[in-house]
Amino acid sequence: MEMQYKERSYGHMENGGGARRTRTDLMVRFLALGLTLAAAVVLGLNKQTTTVNVTIAPTLPPVSLPVTAKWLHMSAMVYFVIVNAIVCSYTTVSLILTLVTKNGNKNVSLMIAILDLVMVALLFSAIGATGAVGLIGYKGNSHVQWGKVCDVFDKFCHRVAVSMVLSFLGSMAYVLLAVLATFNAYTKF
């Protein structure tokens, strides 16, 4: 009887709700791929050079010096770009696996579901890190005397914000994938 039940379940998966679920999974996964790729590229190519006035001696007029803001200058942003690149690469592999197996292989589906969860954790830690540093860059912190820098590097900060929104949407796509996987697994009780 159990065998018959299993066969019926898989049959249902392939032809009815399962196929629809696979399509939804693929669409959300494509979306996550595009969003995390865009987030990594936007921040990875982010660079702004501007001039600041520096006073060398009180008797001399201030000197204009060029300064450059790069994502490589801040550990949180390096972590953000690496995480989004990892998630983007994993999404490509998971897309291929989903397309090849069409969710018919239980072990592959389970592995993907667990790795999706790891991606959620990685993405949220990267967003938290960049968000915290970005907020100090935008507002500064007088308690530790960390001055704001977004008034000088306005375009750079704007692109960081865009990149964070893209990555947040990508992470929400992964949350949706994990919720869908949990929901689908539970409705098979």
Residue numbers of the site for its own copies (CB under 8 A)? 1-2, 4-6, 9, 69, 73-76, 79, 106, 109-110, 113-114, 117-118, 120-122, 124-133, 135-137, 141, 143-147, 149, 171, 175, 178-179, 181-183, 185-186, 188-189
Smallest distance from its own copies to CB 152, Å? 9
The residue (of 64 and 75) whose beta carbon lies closer to its own copies is 75
Which residues have CB under 8 Å from 62's CB, separation 6+? Answer: 53, 54, 55, 56
Smallest distance from its own copies to CB 59, Å? 15
Smallest distance from its own copies to CB 32, Å? 14
Count of C-beta atoms within a 10 Å radius of residue 131: 16
Distance CA 172, CA 155 (A): 26
The residue (of 45 and 111) whose beta carbon lies closer to its own copies is 111
153 CB-side CA count, 13 A: 22
Smallest distance from its own copies to CB 139, Å? 8
Distance CA 170, CA 41 (A): 14
75-101 and 17-44 helices, crossing angle to 10°: 150
The residue (of 91 and 109) whose beta carbon lies closer to its own copies is 109
The residue (of 95 and 136) whose beta carbon lies closer to its own copies is 136
Residue with tokens 């921040």: 43
